[in-house]
Chains A and B, each alone.
Chain A
Amino acid sequence: MIALGLFNYWAVIVLMMVGFYTLIARGNLVKKLIGLNIFQTSVILMYVSFGKVEGGTAPILIEAAEHGAEAAEPILYSNPIPHVLMLTAIVVGVATLALGLSLVVRIKEAFGTVEEDEIQSASL
């Protein structure tokens, strides 16, 4: 994947911008939350791609005894720290999504609509 180089980051930035566009350009509140979800997942993808090590494997320690004669060669693992941080980020993301969706349900019951411009004209 070294050949891809920066292309990986640029592709993820394109995905982030797709989510960002959905967030700011659409008026429906549920659509905005879906865009936020996509934005969050793309950011998590970005962080995880920072932790990737070329030629490495998943950070689960392999018993050195299995290798026998090749025990001298150190095994390369991918960086586990972004994985830990992103685990937390995913769970916090779903917590935020649940709160946002419950707010949308209450807005619908209070205003009768979840379109942003109709809500603004109703409450002015």
Chain B
Amino acid sequence: MRSRPRPLLGRSLLRLFTVQGSWNYERMQGIGVGVAEEPLLRDLQEAGDGVAYRAAVARGAHFFNAHPYFCGLAVGAAARAEHDGVPPEQVERLRTALCGPLGSLGDRLVWAGWLPFTSGLAVVGVALGFGMPAVLGFLIVYNVGHVALRWWALRAGWTYGARVALALHQPLLQRAVAWSGPAMALAVGAALPLAARALALPFAGWARSALLAAALVGFVLLWLSRGRLTGLRFGLALLALAALVGWLWR
């Protein structure tokens, strides 16, 4: 086993914040993952093995797609595997095998959990009149979790190498995944009526009744037309209808 470039984990972490910068339909996050992995491979070159370094850099930039905050796990694991002399085809298999689980885990934990949970709390805060402090609180709390997750993923990948699947079974991570769904549902659930009330305050009389009716009809339409009708399309259609009615009913 070769020496481990632990001090460069920091540089790799910084590059991971740009991991989706070169997202494309062919390699998806591959280029970004390669860029983040490169600092961890440098000592292969410094050890005089330029061929191994270039081959590892090329492999690092191949197709990859997972949740961006969990990419560090693949970056660390692949770099460690390269240092441990794991055969190239096995490194490729490891990267491929990680795409699905890391994507699914990140989507559940972050996109459908931590992010809407914290943003739901921010909406509740703004609707209750806390204003800017609620927004700044969201940015701070969300990013404490965000940065901690990125750092944990990179370190765990580097620590476990080819056995990185073990890191995904850590009890804390499993508990976080289990609780993120209910916590999000509670926070966003509370945010909806409070936000609706706050936004409806300037309207009175017939306008409030129309708002309630349009929201109910919209909810039913969006629910029944899942996958075909989006919130954006419905919003534009309703605004066009409102403009037409407003022009006719002067």
* A and B co-occur in one complex: no
